[in-house]
């Protein structure tokens, strides 16, 4: 029987500030496969043996291949979208990261899930910036695989694109 998924919260971009200091919860478990790791290696050019050579990695420090730290970090967006839907934004951007650490490896074949909190919310020109505090857990390992602050920006209009301006009234005048 499949495990129930987490409860997804839906908020308007104007309500994000009310989430500051709150936990969004924990995402579903996701298996990290060798195909995931190899695909990431191909996309990034990071084909170090610890990631892509199962035979050599079997004799290495972890006994198997392990996911790239940046692959683990890159899974954050999917985990976030599973927990939070933001409406009313014309554009949502991953703005960056702070304080990223990879304390433990993610062995291929293991399952991971994310714990996400809203650390801070602030206004930026044209929208809102949210700092999410994330920890990626590996099943059966008390040490997190990734800990980071991830910044997202939610824009009310697409930056650099002229706003449509006032709508014409009767007779074509604004």
Mean pLDDT value of segment 90-113: 97
Residue 111 buriedness (CB in 10 A; 0-12 / 13-18 / 19+): middle
Integer Cα distance of 134 and 114 in angstroms: 7
Report in angstroms the alpha-carbon separations of 125 from 56, 94, 129, 160: 50, 16, 10, 12
**Residues 41, 47: contact at Cβ < 8 Å?**
yes
Predicted TM-score (pTM) of the model is 0.87
Output the pLDDT for position 159.
Answer: 78
pLDDT, tens digit (0-9, with 9 covering 90-100), for 82-97: 999 999 999 999 999 9
Return the CATH number of the domain spanning residue range 9-32+68-159. Answer: 3.10.129.10
Instruction: Report the residue count for the chain.
Output: 174
């Amino acid at each position: 029987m499949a495990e129930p998924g987490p409860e997804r919260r839906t908020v308007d971009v104007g309500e994000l500030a009310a989430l500051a200091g709150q936990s969004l919860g924990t995402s579903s478990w996701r298996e990290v496969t060798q195909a995931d790791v190899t695909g990431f290696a191909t996309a990034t050019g990071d084909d170090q043996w610890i990631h892509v050579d199962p035979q050599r990695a079997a004799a290495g420090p972890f006994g198997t291949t392990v996911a790239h730290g940046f692959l683990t970090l890159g899974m954050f967006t999917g985990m976030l979208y599973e927990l939070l839907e933001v409406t009313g934004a014309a554009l949502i951007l991953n703005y960056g990261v702070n304080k990223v650490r990879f304390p433990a490896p993610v062995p291929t074949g293991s399952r991971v899930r994310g714990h996400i909190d809203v650390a801070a919310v602030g206004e930026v020109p044209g929208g809102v910036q949210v700092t999410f505090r994330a920890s990626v857990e590996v099943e059966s390992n008390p040490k997190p695989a990734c800990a980071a602050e991830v910044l997202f920006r939610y824009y009310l209009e697409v930056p650099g694109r002229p706003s449509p301006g006032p709508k014409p009234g009767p007779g074509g005048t604004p």
